[in-house]
Each structure stands twice: as structure tokens, then as C-alpha cells.
């Protein structure tokens, strides 16, 4: 039990960190997000961002605060997408 607690204390949340993300990935995430908004205008939830594959730029809009990512994916928060568009 102590080892489990110790491991959690050393855990850093990758979503709260602000890693440098390639601008092409941010643009692709913005396209995914805005296409999703156009196709699904009836969805009322507030998304937290987009999980996107670094290699082929395919992704999904994410609604949870702590997404589970595959090794080749990165998470682009919604505020970073919006700030890059303006």
C-alpha cells in the first residue's frame, strides 16, 4: 500500500504540463475540433481537447479531464487550439 501511495505522489499529470507541440499538430487538432462542432451541433458538453496521432494527424475530440493516450498520441487542450486559431 505504501509503494502505491509513493508512486502516486511522484506522478506528474501530462495534461497540466504545457509541452511544446508542433504547430502542424495544433492546426490538425483545430480542424478535427471545428469539424466535430459543425457535424454535431447538438452536443452540449464542453470538450477538454483533442487526442491526435503524431504520425497521421488523425484524432478524436475528448471530453474527460484526464485522457488515456496511446504511445503515438498527444493531447492538445482546447485552450491551446483556440489560442492558435486567433
What stretches of the chain show up as alpha helix (H) in DSSP?
2-9, 23-39, 78-85
Q: How far is it, in rounded angstroms, from Cα 51 to Cα 22?
A: 14
pLDDT tens digits, 23-57: 999 999 999 999 999 999 888 788 999 999 999 99
pTM of the model: 0.72
Q: How far is it, in rounded angstroms, from Cα 70 to Cα 85?
A: 26
Check pLDDT > 80 for residue 1: no
Amino acid at each position: 500500500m505504501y509503494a502505491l501511495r509513493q508512486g502516486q505522489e511522484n506522478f506528474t499529470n501530462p495534461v497540466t504540463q504545457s509541452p511544446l507541440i508542433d504547430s502542424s499538430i495544433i492546426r490538425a487538432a483545430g480542424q478535427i475540433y471545428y469539424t466535430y462542432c459543425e457535424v454535431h451541433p447538438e452536443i452540449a458538453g464542453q470538450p477538454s481537447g483533442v487526442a491526435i496521432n503524431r504520425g497521421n494527424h488523425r484524432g478524436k475530440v475528448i471530453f474527460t479531464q484526464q485522457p488515456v493516450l496511446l504511445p503515438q498520441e498527444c493531447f492538445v487542450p482546447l485552450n491551446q487550439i483556440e489560442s492558435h486559431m486567433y
